[in-house]
Amino acid sequence: MSLAKLIGKFALAPLARALPTMSETERAALEAGTVGFEGSLFAGRPNFRRLTTLGAPKLTPVEQSFLDQEVKTLCAMLDDYAIDSARDLPPEVWAYLKEKRFFGMVVPRAHGGLGFSASAQAAVVTRIATVNVAAAVTVMVPNSIGPAELLAHYGTEAQKHYWLPRLAVGTDIPCFGLTNPYAGSDAASIPDRGILVERDVEGQRVRGFLVTFDKRYITLAPVATVVGLAFRAINPQAPEGQQDMGITCALLPVPLQGVEIGRRHRPMDAAFMNGPIRGHDVFVPMDWVIGGETFVGQGWRMLMECLAAGRAISLPALGSAMQQVSLYVANGYGKIREQFGMPIGKFEAIAGQLAETAVRLYATDAARRLAAAELDSGERPSVASAILKLHLTEAGRRAVTCGMDILGGKAIQNGPSNLLSSAYRQAPIAITVEGANILTRALIIFGQGAVRCHPYVLEEMRAVAAQDPERLGQSLLGHIGHVLRNVYVSLLALPQAPDAPTALRKEARLLTRLSAKFALSCDLAMGLLGGRLKRLELLSQRLGDVLSALYLASAVCWRYETERDPAMLPIARAALRQQLRQATVTLRDLHENLPFGARRVLSWLMMRGVWHLNPVRDAQWMAIAHQLRTDTKVLARLTQDVSTPKCGGLRDLQHALALYEQLGAEEVSRLTQALRKTGSIDAAARVGTTPHSALNYLRAADKVIQVDDFAATVEETTTATRPSKGPLSRRFDPAAAGNVQAHAKNPG
Ligand SMILES: Cc1cc2nc3c(=O)[nH]c(=O)nc-3n(C[C@H](O)[C@H](O)[C@H](O)COP(=O)(O)OP(=O)(O)OC[C@H]3O[C@@H](n4cnc5c(N)ncnc54)[C@H](O)[C@@H]3O)c2cc1C
């Protein structure tokens, strides 16, 4: 008997007991997608060469032109406050979205869509979201979990032929209904049932399902003309215990007999469409099942495969937009707004927050672009997608909150001049959808990573399931070698990172060592706790956090290498050190919490050789903040997707900042000093070297500093007025601007 078989024989029974039990749906979720760069972090050897060969994400000329023309035009049609007040996009925006095939970015060109890459889709959504989240969500949904993606991958030829061209040009507006009042995060447990039946339809016997369902929170449902529906298929003729055929996805054209659709939820009063869909004994012929009869019961796997890619694009794009716009706005306002005789952005407490926001944006955006580049190279990295979903949306929320604090009362007064309030209100939506963040952090990142990315665990699970001692033994022998190597690299070796960018080599070496320590810690935790680790969410959350920090740190190396912009080095280095410190501290907390007698010694051993890099010092934070204030190219690189809306606070700020740059900081300082002394914009402008430009700037800055006020009566609160005595007063009336329209089902 071979050594492998002998080891496998001894290990089979104890491993079968230790491994967590797994349902088919859990298995499908765990096995969905592919493993990207993050697999090398699990192996303890970050593969910087893979990152270098991946290169920067590239857009085709058609994609670039779409961003420069169509997206720019769309943004110039968007008035955030008017859309928010009307709770819908204006009809001309709906029409433009359809005409320019924004809903068909994911639809292949052969079927009339734009067939855009992941990088292009992400860039489109990010740019729109910097001016209006509702428009971005409206574009995002048909291009993510909307049925187009499912149809393109699994649809029958007839289904693709019929639906894809209609979805591409918005003849049909789709939505996708999975969530049920009793199955949210645990979506695989949906109680919605479809009973297999035969019906007479136009003189023919037709097989299909009689479906009863209750769906809620469904984006675009109130205006949808086709509903993607997930339900559990049941065959009552099958023997007891075999009747459940599994989750099945079908397309229902609406209106349809038995389907109630059209009512709205009010998710944080956002303007995008969202509502419930209910159906009672709705007949769904087999032809409507996505992929036809052979795909009955395959719905969960199909959804998980699509999510593996989609989660890396849309919500991370929203998170990036929130960070970019918050940094742009808070940094800009920090230059214009003065208190105690100084621009508020120069106060250390504010400068520190701005620098931190910029550094986090650099790291998270690096990860977002890296994942898009991986998607475009053919990967569908499910674990990286979960990391992105969590960290981009969290960083988005954090940046908006920080921006609100910096803006003070200006951020709190609602109205067309407000710069952040609608993003602030809507931030929790991104946190909750497509895998709520608490669950993603506690369960998905490490849980899925441990199975998919670990070089041996999945093979061991398969060998145990197949009761194959030889296969198990071979995998265990490899696993032992893997552990020994990681012990060596973690504790004794001086890791090198020859393929990392030279300027960041010192940090990259620590990243390599931390990766080996992380890999060792995973094996230790899994070895000590076995299947129990799945329920010890605080521990698996920490393992996921370390993996995330290492992934973000690696993405920083990749971004710095591909952009090759030395001006970004201080920000890149701070971003890398911040993530490495996060990984180190979390790793220490993990070891402190492992239920293991000798953990103090172990923790001391594991944490050797990782504290030698200094944290980012105050002086470095201040230098980064100074760069943000003075080097417009650095800020522009970080906030390159911030677009120009039709009107409103953001546009006013962009205008004032352009005038500020023409005058320069010193001249602006003289002017604001004069304004404080004289109390008159006209008098202060006369002090300027070029009084005309000075007057223009002071007026534009005043517009940024002022907030809106409204008539006291409830009926008139949509009509905002600037202070009546100032020379700059104006009235804002969204209805007069033609942006308020009655809510209409099936717009356009
Ligand atoms: C604005 C909006 C738009 C949406 N659009 C759609 C759509 O178009 N189609 C669709 O089908 N659905 C949609 N959803 C539903 C969305 O996907 C769900 O809200 C989400 O999956 C969470 O479900 P839930 O809200 O029921 O929360 P619950 O499942 O009740 O979760 C509550 C809390 O428990 C946490 N939690 C749950 N399980 C665990 C666990 N095991 N460990 C740790 N924490 C856990 C969650 O993280 C969350 O914080 C949308 C939701 C919103 C708010």
Give the torsion sign (CA, 126, 127, 130, 132).
negative
Q: How far is the CA of 319 from the centre of ligand 1 (A)?
A: 18
Which tokens in the block code for residue 374? 């991986």
The larger pLDDT score, comparing residue 468 to residue 356, is at 356
Distance between CA atoms of 399 and 356, rounded to whole angstroms?
9
Q: What is the pLDDT of residue 369?
A: 96
Residues pairing with 197 in the sheet: 208
Q: In this model, does residue 731 exceed pLDDT 70?
A: no
708-725 mean pLDDT: 66
Q: Which residues are CB-neighbours of 412 under 8 A, at least 6 positions away?
A: 404, 421
**Residue identifier of the C-alpha nearest atom 50 of ligand 1:** 217
Q: Are strands 259-261 and 274-285 parallel, antiparallel or unpaired?
A: antiparallel
Distance between CA atoms of 371 and 365, rounded to whole angstroms?
10
Q: How confident is the model at residue 717 (pLDDT cuts 50, 70, 90)?
A: low
Q: What is the pLDDT of residue 746?
A: 32
Distance between CA atoms of 585 and 577, rounded to whole angstroms?
12
Q: How confident is the model at residue 730 (pLDDT cuts 50, 70, 90)?
A: very low
The larger pLDDT score, comparing residue 745 to residue 484, is at 484
185 lines ligand 1 (CB under 6 A): yes
How many Cβ atoms sit within 10 Å of the Cβ of residue 233? 22
**Residue identifier of the C-alpha nearest atom 43 of ligand 1:** 439
Q: In this model, does residue 476 exceed pLDDT 70?
A: yes
Q: In this model, does residue 370 exceed pLDDT 60?
A: yes
The one-letter amino acid code at 640 reads Q
Phi/psi at 166 (5° precision)? -70, -40
170-181 mean pLDDT: 97
Give the torsion sign (CA, 587, 591, 592, 593).
positive
| 278 CB burial (10 A radius; 0-12, 13-18, 19+) | middle
543-563 mean pLDDT: 97
Number of the ligand 1 atom closest to the C-alpha atom of 215: 11
Give the burial string for 661-696 (b: 16+ CB within 10 Å, else e).
eebeeebbebbbebbeeeeebeebbebbeeeebbbb
Q: What is the pLDDT of residue 192?
A: 98
Q: In this model, does residue 571 exceed pLDDT 50?
A: yes
Q: How far is the CA of 230 from the centre of ligand 1 (A)?
A: 16
Q: Are strands 244-253 and 259-261 parallel, antiparallel or unpaired?
A: unpaired
What is the CB-side half-sphere exposure of residue 223 using CA atoms within 13 A? 23
Q: How confident is the model at residue 743 (pLDDT cuts 50, 70, 90)?
A: very low
233-240 mean pLDDT: 96
Pair 118, 143: CB distance under 8 Å:
no
**At 561, which helix (H) or strand (E)?**
helix 537-563
Q: What is the pLDDT of residue 713?
A: 76
Q: What is the pLDDT of residue 745?
A: 33
Q: How far is the CA of 411 from the centre of ligand 1 (A)?
A: 29
5-31 mean pLDDT: 80
Quote the distance between the C-alpha of residue 742 and its chain's center. 32
Q: Are strands 244-253 and 226-234 parallel, antiparallel or unpaired?
A: antiparallel
Q: How far is the CA of 433 from the centre of ligand 1 (A)?
A: 6
Q: What is the pLDDT of residue 205?
A: 95
Give the torsion sign (CA, 678, 681, 682, 684).
positive
Q: How far is CA 400 from CA 124, 397, 552, in A?
A: 21, 5, 20
Which tokens in the block code for residue 589? 């907390």
Q: What is the pLDDT of residue 600?
A: 66
Q: Which residues are CB-neighbours of 118 under 8 A, at least 6 positions away?
A: 309, 312, 313, 372, 375, 376
Q: What is the pLDDT of residue 613?
A: 78
**Residue identifier of the C-alpha nearest atom 24 of ligand 1:** 184
Residues pairing with 282 in the sheet: 211
| 10 CB burial (10 A radius; 0-12, 13-18, 19+) | middle
Pair 425, 404: CB distance under 8 Å:
no
Residues pairing with 218 in the sheet: 275
Q: In this model, does residue 735 exceed pLDDT 80?
A: no
Which tokens in the block code for residue 252? 């229902």
Q: What is the pLDDT of residue 606?
A: 81
Q: Which of 79-83, 313-317, 486-490, 609-613 has the lowest mean pLDDT?
A: 609-613
443 lines ligand 1 (CB under 6 A): yes
Q: How confident is the model at residue 13 (pLDDT cuts 50, 70, 90)?
A: confident
**At 486, which helix (H) or strand (E)?**
helix 469-491
Q: What is the pLDDT of residue 117?
A: 95
Of how many residues is the chain composed? Answer: 748
Give the burial string for 718-739 (b: 16+ CB within 10 Å, else e).
bebbbeeeeeeeeebebeeeeb
Q: How confident is the model at residue 726 (pLDDT cuts 50, 70, 90)?
A: very low
**What digits encode the pLDDT tens for the residues 477-508?**
999 999 999 988 888 887 888 888 999 999 99
**What digits encode the pLDDT tens for the residues 258-296?**
999 999 999 999 999 999 999 999 999 999 999 999 999
Q: What is the pLDDT of residue 18?
A: 76
Q: How confident is the model at residue 134 (pLDDT cuts 50, 70, 90)?
A: very high
Q: What is the pLDDT of residue 714?
A: 62
The larger pLDDT score, comparing residue 9 to residue 346, is at 346
The structure tokens 């990207």 sit at 36
Residue-averaged pLDDT of the chain: 91
Distance between CA atoms of 36 and 48, rounded to whole angstroms?
12
503 lines ligand 1 (CB under 6 A): no
429-433 mean pLDDT: 96
217 lines ligand 1 (CB under 6 A): yes
**Residue identifier of the C-alpha nearest atom 36 of ligand 1:** 439
**What digits encode the pLDDT tens for the residues 290-344?**
999 999 999 999 999 888 888 999 999 999 999 999 999 999 999 999 999 999 9
Phi/psi at 543 (5° precision)? -60, -40
Q: What is the pLDDT of residue 344?
A: 98
Of 633, 539, 271, 579, the C-alpha closest to 426 is: 271
Whole-prediction pTM value? 0.93
Which tokens in the block code for residue 212? 């009863």
Of 503, 540, 573, 657, the C-alpha closest to 359 is: 573
**Residue identifier of the C-alpha nearest atom 27 of ligand 1:** 184
439 lines ligand 1 (CB under 6 A): yes
Which of 38, 434, 460, 561 is flagged as catalytic? 434
Q: In this model, does residue 736 exceed pLDDT 50?
A: no
Q: What is the pLDDT of residue 604?
A: 76
Distance between CA atoms of 739 and 416, rounded to whole angstroms?
13
Give the torsion sign (CA, 74, 75, 76, 79).
positive
Eight-state DSSP code of residue 295: G
277 lines ligand 1 (CB under 6 A): no
Distance between CA atoms of 181 and 190, rounded to whole angstroms?
9
The structure tokens 């296969």 sit at 471
Q: How far is the CA of 190 from the centre of ligand 1 (A)?
A: 13
Q: In this model, does residue 725 exceed pLDDT 50?
A: no
| Probe residue for ligand 1, chosen from 149, 216, 433 as the CB with the greatest number of ligand atoms within 8 Å | 433
209 lines ligand 1 (CB under 6 A): no
The larger pLDDT score, comparing residue 39 to residue 601, is at 39
Q: What is the pLDDT of residue 716?
A: 54
Q: Which residues are CB-neighbours of 661 under 8 A, at least 6 positions away?
A: 632
- Clarify whether 434 is annotated catalytic: yes
Q: How far is the CA of 389 from the centre of ligand 1 (A)?
A: 14
